[in-house]
Amino acid sequence: TCYREHNEPLHAELAECAGMTDVLTTLKAEGRRLGVVTATRRETLRLAFSYLPLEQFFDVVVGSDGTDRHKPDPAPLEHALDLLGAGRDESVYVGDSPFDVRAAKGAGMHSIAVTWGGIHHRDALGDAGALVDTPEELLAVL
């Protein structure tokens, strides 16, 4: 409760990671199916989407309340794959934490770590299949 009372008002200050709308637009135009798997509750994610209108890009959204187990356990990613009807070998999970990288590996997926999350040092992301510093690099790797 304390965390939510502190965190939820901060959503009014959310800003897009520069260039990500362009990346998402390009991926959707290429016919890619996209999903979000997050440690955030679905309700809180809806609040974020009310400030950053990105929800239309995603075919699947799995919040922390969508599975009993959470990242770094692969269960949320596996659930998203099931909802998408996608195979592990044809899927990539993009994240900004070592927990994301571990979850992707546990699910048998490719992983790409982005450095702009600002929470984890790039050295902590080194086990990812690819490490990128900009949205343009992300698009090139995808």
Neighbour tally for 107: CB within 10 Å: 23
Tens digit of each residue's pLDDT (9 = 90 or more) over 67-114: 999 999 999 999 999 999 999 999 999 999 999 999 999 999 999 999
Q: Is 68 helix (H, G, I), strand (E, B) or coil?
A: coil
One-character DSSP codes across 27-93: HHHTT---EEE-SS-HHHHHHHHHHS--GGG-SEEE-GGGSSS-TTSSHHHHHHHHHHT--GGG-EE
pLDDT band at 15 (very low <50, low <70, confident <90, very high): confident
Tens digit of each residue's pLDDT (9 = 90 or more) over 25-66: 999 999 999 999 999 888 889 999 999 999 999 999 999 999
